Structure 1
Amino acid sequence: MQSRGTMCGSCSTDKTVLCSATAITQPAAVQRCLSWCNCQSIMVACRGIWTKEFWRAVSGEYLATLIFVLLSLGSTINWPAGEGEKPPPADVILISMCFGLSIATMVQCFGHISGGHINPAVTAAMVVTGKLSLAKALFYVVAQCLGAVSGAGILCLVTPTPVRGTLGVTMVHADISVGHAFLVELLITFELVFTVFATCDPKRTELRGSCGLAIGFAVVIGHLFAIPYTGASMNPARSFGPALITLNFENHWVYWVGPILGGILAAALYEYLYCPDPELKKRLKQIFQKEPSGIYKEVETEDIATKPGSIHTINLEGTEKKDPFLEPMGEVSSA
């Protein structure tokens, strides 16, 4: 004998659970249904990771970060003018220009392949604004960190020990507090990510020139200002690479929390306050209702729906279903 179980709130349809009254209780059946729904969600989230386009984008992030870290950290190495002489002080302008031009070049080279993030802070900003799926973002961050470690490792391998120094590890200046360093990293990454969103905004038609060069200039500005304060990370992967090679993680959290928060804040302000998407405004005019099953339903207004007051399941990706892993970087790939 079978009895009807309780409706599962995780299902996307009005599916109920049929269970044996003598062997399985209703809570157990609901738990089994929830497990099934969770497995389905994981399968949907990971369905695109075996595609050629996905791994091409992830490997692009790895290679771009490797080249960026290798070339940029190389500018921090102080070579003495002659044998027995002390190395000269760090040239802030040289380091700033090298970091800025390197990132501009990598964005120009890999922008059409992976989006040219090369920075976990930029990837996090893309996730919170719905331009990148969380599953793809996790692979991106791992690839960026591995690329940074590889780049720093190659630099350490080819650089003589006497001139290697700290290998460009970002460190907080002794005369400022850790809190001030955190604020500096937040602000300079805010400036960088805001530039990324402003220059890559598809809604703008008046822009001319290279977006990569504008992003590179933003990196140069941040380094010219913040090198004396924190070493000007603006990029958690850039700090993670040399820190792992030299095993120097002093105040390392500053270079993760500060840039990521700064990037998220910049993306949220740009996308939802200063330059909101017109389509987002239309969606905000619609009324959303939550059914007892836990599914959100949308009640459309008269000017949108063919039948006023009709209720249907929310579909933020449009009528045509696309694989989020195969969409261009500029489009929304997660709901």
Structure 2
Amino acid sequence: MYMLAQCSGAICGCLLVKALQKTYYVVYGGGANELSQGYGLATGLGAEIIGTFILVYTVLSTTDSKRIACDSHIPVLAPLPIGFAVFMVHLATIPITGTGINPARSFGAAVIYNHKKSWDDHWIFWVGPLIGAAGAEFYYEHILRAHLTLYHNHHHVTRH
């Protein structure tokens, strides 16, 4: 249901932009993601995987209540590093794919723009973010967080 709501919201948002900002909508290709000329499928897929990995990893590490509790002496304002991660990913991937990193956003724009080029390699904007998000979650939960737990448990035992 969540994915359906996200995709529906993206479609409605793109419809609003098309209705209210027709000139910009046409000039910028409806905001639809596509693989830029001169880049191969592997490069586009890699850009989406890495970009999504960076974003999801940043979200996990800045919003994890267990990590925040362990490092409570470090003030963390989650929106700042998350926004910075989104900014950096966009700088790196806009020239390659237009930056998807969210399948719903890419889908909504493709549905409303509905040109062949926006559908040609659309699978990249689903497969890349799904792999990147799953990889970030696996890395954070099973490698990094497990290591931090061991470190904090050992540190806690040796201090007392």
Please say whether Structure 1 and Structure 2 have the same fold, judged by a TM-score greater than 0.5.
Answer: yes
CA distance in 2, matches of 1:201, 1:275: 10
Which of 80, 94, 99 is the aligned partner of 1:232? 99
Deviations 1:8-67 (A, max 9, x none): xxxxxxxxxxxxxxxxxxxxxxxxxxxxxxxxxxxxxxxxxxxxxxxxxxxxxxxxxxxx
Matched, 1:269 2:139: yes
Specify the alignment match of 2:42 in structure 1: 179
Deviation at 1:162, TM superposition (A): 7.3
* Alignment partner, residue 80 of structure 2: 213
Matches within 5 A, 1:101-120: none
Task: Tell me the equivalent position of 1:188.
Answer: 51
Aligned counterpart, 2:121: 251
Structure 2 counterpart of 1:221, which letter? M
- Which of these residues, 135, 139, 149, is aligned with residue 11 of structure 2? 149
Cross-structure match for 2:66? 203
Q: How far, CA to CA, are the matches of 1:259 and 1:237 in structure 2? A: 10
What do residues 122-177 of structure 1 show as CA deviations (whole Å, max 9, x unaligned)? Answer: xxxxxxxxxxxxxxxxx111111111111111000111347623111111111011
Paired-residue identity, %: 36
1:158 corresponds in structure 2 to: 20
Distance 1:171 1:267 in 2: 26
Q: Give 3-state SS (helix, strand or coil) of 1:232's partner.
A: coil
| Aligned mates of 1:274, 1:198 — CA distance in 2 | 10
Q: Larger Rg: 1 or 2?
A: 1
Task: State the alpha-carbon separation in 1 of the partners of residues 65 and 22 from structure 2.
Answer: 46
Task: Point out 4+ residue stretches in structure 1 off by more than 4 angstroms.
Answer: none
CA gap of 1:144–1:222, structure 2 versus 1, over 3 A, is: same
Larger RCO (CA within 8 A; separation ≥ 6)? 2
Indicate conservation of the 8 Å contact 2:62/2:76, yes or no. Answer: no
For 1:269 and 1:163, locate their aligned partners in 2 and report how far apart those are by CA, in whole Å. Answer: 38
Shift of 1:250: 2.1
Deviation at 1:209, TM superposition (A): 3.4
Native 8 Å contact 2:18 2:25 kept in 1: no
What count of residue pairs does the alignment treat as equivalent?
140
Alpha-carbon distance in 2 for matches of 1:161, 1:202: 45
Q: Is the CA contact 2:17–2:25 (under 8 Å) kept in the aligned structure 1?
A: no
TM-score (norm 2): 0.82
Deviations 1:223-255 (A, max 9, x none): 011100111111111101110001131200000
2:11, 2:109 within 8 Å by CA — same for their partners in 1? yes
Task: Name structure 2 gaps, 5 residues minimum.
Answer: 150-160
Residues 246, 163 of structure 1: CA spacing in aligned structure 2 closer, same or farther, 3 A cutoff? Answer: closer
TM-score, structure 1 normalization = 0.40
SS of residue in 2 equivalent to 1:167: helix
User: Residue 178 of structure 1: CA displacement?
Assistant: 1.0
